[in-house]
């Protein structure tokens, strides 16, 4: 559809600010790429009247894949991966950006050197909301913006033609939630993180205070990397809602959280 009296479609008008924000991030990165060796920004954003395509370099393996693969990572290799992940996050913050959806599916492993590349850059506040509802809409908003797999059988129930390990890995990815609890807003709109309720601004959102969102997610990734059993989710949406409730009520979960 097109706006009356205008030449651009509604789709183009809505997506153009997003496209420019991601392209600007790419230009900022390219100008000093040597300073950001662990970042993998989008290389292009193509927008038409009916669709939008985000382009980045193809990466074969994620950190999630590597944690399940053989040979098993040694403690030294895990520390090397974590060190690079910390560096990647510091590099992104140095660009004046917050990741907002840091998880092992967005971390790529390159070759036998176990080099780490952080992807899905520029989503925070541009393509994904800064804050999420903590009430009955929590699951729907989380599934729309942050869930990474669908149609995957739960543990104990495999999909036809799918390896059991891959089936359960996909279930974990779908339910994993490494979003900081302070990003959730209660029904009254209050949030310890600030910002609007599920608002996607189309513009980069950054403050030094919001770096703590990524720090929480980094802690969850660290726990997953060093976990002795990768068949269980470290932190999921119900956990995040319960922790949000504890922070909000001063240490006592409310009925809203208990319902989840």
- Supply the residues annotated as catalytic: 101
How far is Cα 18 from Cα 13, in angstroms, rounded to an integer? 10
Pairing relationship of beta strands 44-47 and 132-133 according to DSSP bridges: unpaired
Residue of 126, 131, 149, 100 whose CA lies nearest to 25: 126
Closest by CA to 85, choosing from 75, 69, 99, is 99
Q: Are 243 and 184 in contact (CB under 8 A)?
A: no
Separation CA 82–CA 29 (nearest Å): 22
Q: Where are the beta strands (DSSP E) in the chain?
A: 44-47, 52-55, 61-62, 107-110, 115-118, 132-133, 184-185
State the Cα–Cα distance between residues 36 and 33, nearest whole angstrom. Answer: 5
Distance CA 129, CA 202 (A): 10
Tokens, residue 31: 């100008």
Closest CA to 30 of 114, 161, 22, 207: 22
């Amino acid at each position: 559809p097109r706006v009356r009296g205008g030449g651009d479609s509604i789709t183009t008008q809505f997506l153009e600010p997003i496209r420019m924000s991601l392209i600007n991030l790419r230009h900022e990165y390219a100008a000093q790429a040597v300073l950001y060796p662990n970042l993998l920004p989008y290389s292009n954003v193509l927008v038409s009247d009916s669709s939008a395509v985000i382009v980045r370099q193809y990466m074969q393996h994620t950190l999630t894949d590597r944690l399940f693969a053989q040979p098993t990572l040694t403690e030294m290799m895990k520390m090397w991966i974590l060190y690079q992940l910390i560096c990647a996050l510091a590099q992104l913050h140095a660009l004046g950006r917050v990741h907002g959806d840091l998880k092992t599916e967005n971390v790529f492993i390159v070759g036998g050197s176990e080099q780490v590349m952080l992807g899905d850059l520029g989503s925070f506040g541009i393509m994904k909301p800064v804050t999420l509802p903590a009430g009955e809409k929590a699951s729907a908003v989380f599934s729309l913006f942050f869930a990474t797999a669908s149609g995957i059988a739960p543990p104990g129930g495999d999909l036809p033609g799918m390896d059991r390990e891959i089936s359960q890995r996909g279930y974990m990815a779908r339910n994993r939630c490494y979003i900081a609890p302070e990003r959730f807003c209660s029904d009254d709109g209050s949030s310890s993180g600030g910002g609007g309720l599920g608002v996607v601004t189309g513009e980069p959102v950054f403050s030094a205070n919001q770096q703590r969102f990524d720090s929480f997610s980094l802690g969850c990734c660290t726990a997953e990397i060093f976990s002795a059993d990768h068949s269980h989710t470290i932190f999921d949406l119900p956990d995040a809602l319960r922790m949000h409730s504890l922070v909000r009520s001063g240490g006592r979960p409310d009925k809203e959280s208990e319902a989840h």
